[in-house]
Structure 1
Amino acid sequence: MRVALKECSWQTVGEDLIVVFDPRESITLEDPEGKVEALLSVLREGPRDVGALRAALGARGVEVTGQELDGGLKGLAALGLVERAEGRFTGDPAVDERHFSNLTFFGTFSDLDRHRTDYLRRVREAHVLVLGVGGGGSSLVQCLAGLGVGRLTLLDHDRVETRNFARQFLYKHEDIGRSKVERAAAWVRAYDPDIEVRTVDRWVAGPDDLADLTDGTDLIVGGLDGHPDAGLWVNEAAVRAGVPLVVGGATRTLLSYMSVDPGESACLACEFARQPEEGTGAAAAEDLVHGMRTTNPLIGPVAMQIGSLIALEGLRYLTGFQEPLAAGARVRLDLREGLAASRVPFPDVPDCPVCALAPARVAAI
């Protein structure tokens, strides 16, 4: 195994070594003998295996045992400063160029065991079901395509309208009156011909209308309009299939997104089980909101925020670069507070009938 140094900088201050990889924070390492600085300097010259590293350090007058070097490399890996050289690129120049930024992002989380290309491979092999390609959904499709998701199934029943143009940038004037999923799929194919796209022009009236779409799907994202219970239908279909779900939306001044990890987290049915006491003002307000008909206040910048947040949470499920942040919780961003975020966990409902539908998980061997 050859070890590679990530893109970092350092400076000696007294007996300490100050190292910066992520510009938002610095790492202070005790280095009275200068061994860590010497190791970083050798690694900066290029990737090396352990034997070559020891030889290069020895040429600098720094003698270390194999055990010391192994411990030092593990320590640097734990700090996110080194990774396995063989996993930095795919070896296909066209793929490496296309995914240059994606690989660089994954490099933030790679180490000696998990490679940048491991993350990218999972994305390129993934099948994502996108529910709705309108407001947030159109931006979501663009984010998923940029990540290079290998297969997309796009579901929607609407046609392109002039009023969509304030927030849906997949579409053009010539698309007015045409199927959104067909035009969205055409955009994806033109953007990246390597992405396989399937379209489903369907009105969803219950969880059974999604059952045939979940087989072989790694992730369900987006959301459906048209009925107050549409989110619960999607939730039930996802939990039954054991497929992670990420959804989001916005009111006039509040963005939010949520995710469900079937069998591991609470689900949307748990969230909606939390009802205010009958006869109270809160209950009346809930009823008013539930039955309210409003014009859509969603503008482009807000729609793009929703789409990107859903895509990023979905990426956590697909690759594991981080644990999902919104699993069993609603993450809210308040427009009135400059998009200040808060996380509100779903209530604990031990006897949730929908959660009980999740298939048993098989432990990885």
Structure 2
Amino acid sequence: MLVMADAGSVVIHRRALERIHLDDEDGSVALLLRLLREGRRTGSELADALAAKGFAASEEDIDAALAQFDDWRLLERAGDDDTLRPEVRRRHESNLRFYDVTSSLEVSSADQHRRVAAARVLLLGAGGVGSGVLQSMVGLGVGHVTLVDFDVVETKNLARQFAYGLATIGERKVDAAKAWADSYSGGTAVEPVHGRVASAADVRELAEGHDLVVCAIDSPDDIQLMVNEACFELGIPYVVGGLAYSTLCYWSVEPGVSPCRRCLQLHRNDEGPLPDTLFERATVNRATGPIVQLLAGFVSMEAMRYLRRTEPPVAAACYHVVELADGMATERHAWQRHPECELCE
């Protein structure tokens, strides 16, 4: 945040493209902001400090100003970073400074880190998107990740799956990914599960005790409905990301809050059957390294919105689409509850 004082006004640069202009003919707003920057005074002490400079302000006036500043996400509890261990502050300094964007007097940046560090995430898939999400989760300091995959590392994976290397070819992906995570940071416990997901019951068993599910697999064909069913039974939100041809997309569902994936399926059924397929679709993986990094980043950002709970998810029941072969055009496609969905009744 950047604050600039001009003749008769104060300009607060809250975001790179956002300005808040405040009238300040007598300079009292600029003084209050300077006092707040010091981070040493209570509300009554702020009123006294202003009075000492010739500005009359009651505690009620100060409280109203603080409430407005807090609503703009300009305030944070002074010294709250110091509640974290020094080594944690050093390790997560950039994460903490990003959390400042959504921090408040109620939930500080340190509080957000603690929520992340206490979180348990079930990650389905250790391929391009899954391994990228894992790297983000480890970098962010997520406390526990249960990683599920049935594959082994192959040479072709090295084009886009950067948690692996030549020395890991032939190893089970979940084991190689755990080894990478352990060597990168001790703050995240990775639990490897080598196996396939074949039913909603499988997902439910794996997801028990977790705070979030990330689905980065596309098989079996109805895996999204399986995850949807299991997560609704457990009351756990989930995030999905994938690539179709040259279209990157991600979305999420929060049980009991947003419409679910079954709602979308029922809406699609209402539209009638798809035309017969003229040619079988070639099973070609077009995901390059930059593509999976981009998608993994979007998925991880949505996951963090659920874990930190300081801003609402942006993709709940809403496809976010990036057309990679069409000038990087972006679109959003939301869906509504379906009256026949038994999960969203």
Range class of TM-score, shorter chain: over 0.9
Matched, 1:316 2:305: yes
Q: Give, in angstroms, the shift of residue 349 of structure 1.
A: 0.9
* Cα distance between partner residues in 2 of 1:225 and 1:178: 22
Determine if contact 1:239/1:355 at 8 Å carries over to the other structure: no
Q: Give, in angstroms, the shift of residue 254 of structure 1.
A: 0.8
Determine if contact 1:133/1:154 at 8 Å carries over to the other structure: yes
Per-residue CA deviation, residues 56-106 of structure 1 (Å, 9 max, x unaligned), is 323333232211112122222122222221434434111111111111111
Determine if contact 2:107/2:310 at 8 Å carries over to the other structure: no
Residue 173 of structure 2: aligned partner: 180
* Cα distance between partner residues in 1 of 2:341 and 2:227: 16
Per-residue CA deviation, residues 188-230 of structure 1 (Å, 9 max, x unaligned), is 1111112112111111211112222111100000322332212
**Aligned to 2:6, what secondary structure does the other structure show?**
strand
Q: Which letter does structure 2 place at the counterpart of 1:59? A: A
Determine if contact 1:133/1:156 at 8 Å carries over to the other structure: yes
**Aligned to 1:83, what secondary structure does the other structure show?**
coil
Distance 1:338 1:52, change over 3 A: farther
Q: Give, in angstroms, the shift of residue 329 of structure 1.
A: 1.7
**Which of residues 251, 257, 275 is equivalent to 1:284?**
275
Matched, 1:8 2:13: no
Distance 1:17 1:277, change over 3 A: closer
Distance 1:277 1:54, change over 3 A: closer
TM-score (norm 1): 0.89
* Cα distance between partner residues in 2 of 1:177 and 1:167: 17
* Cα distance between partner residues in 1 of 2:114 and 2:2: 25
Residue 113 of structure 1: aligned partner: 106
Matched, 1:267 2:260: yes
* Cα distance between partner residues in 1 of 2:60 and 2:81: 26
Residue 136 of structure 2: aligned partner: 143
Determine if contact 1:140/1:222 at 8 Å carries over to the other structure: no
Unmatched tracts of structure 2, length 5 or more: none
* Cα distance between partner residues in 2 of 1:350 and 1:265: 14
**Which of residues 285, 291, 295 is equivalent to 1:306?**
295
Distance 1:54 1:347, change over 3 A: closer
**Aligned to 2:229, what secondary structure does the other structure show?**
helix
* Cα distance between partner residues in 1 of 2:316 and 2:326: 24
Q: Identity of counterpart residues, as a percentage? A: 37
Q: Which letter does structure 1 place at the counterpart of 2:112? A: Y
Q: Which letter does structure 1 place at the counterpart of 2:203? A: L
Matched, 1:341 2:341: no
**Which of residues 252, 260, 265 is equivalent to 2:245?**
252
**Aligned to 1:85, what secondary structure does the other structure show?**
coil
Number of residue pairs aligned between Structure 1 and Structure 2: 344
Distance 1:60 1:330, change over 3 A: same
Matched, 1:102 2:95: yes
* Cα distance between partner residues in 1 of 2:271 and 2:39: 65
Per-residue CA deviation, residues 122-181 of structure 1 (Å, 9 max, x unaligned), is 100000000001011111001111111001100000000111111100000011111000
Distance 1:237 1:177, change over 3 A: same
Per-residue CA deviation, residues 29-49 of structure 1 (Å, 9 max, x unaligned), is 122222111111222344322
**Which of residues 149, 155, 177 is equivalent to 1:162?**
155
Q: Which is further off, 224-233 or 319-328?
A: 224-233
TM-score (norm 2): 0.93
Residue 222 of structure 1: aligned partner: 215
- Structure 1 runs (4+) greater than 4 angstroms displaced: 276-279
The RMSD of aligned alpha carbons is: 2.0
**Aligned to 1:26, what secondary structure does the other structure show?**
strand
Unmatched tracts of structure 1, length 5 or more: 1-6, 357-365
**Aligned to 2:286, what secondary structure does the other structure show?**
coil
Per-residue CA deviation, residues 12-41 of structure 1 (Å, 9 max, x unaligned), is 24x322121322211101222221111112
* Cα distance between partner residues in 2 of 1:46 and 1:353: 52
Q: Which letter does structure 2 place at the counterpart of 1:187? A: W
Determine if contact 1:329/1:345 at 8 Å carries over to the other structure: yes
Trace 1:206-221 onto structure 2 (pairs within 5 A).
206-221=199-214
Q: Which letter does structure 2 place at the counterpart of 1:126? A: A
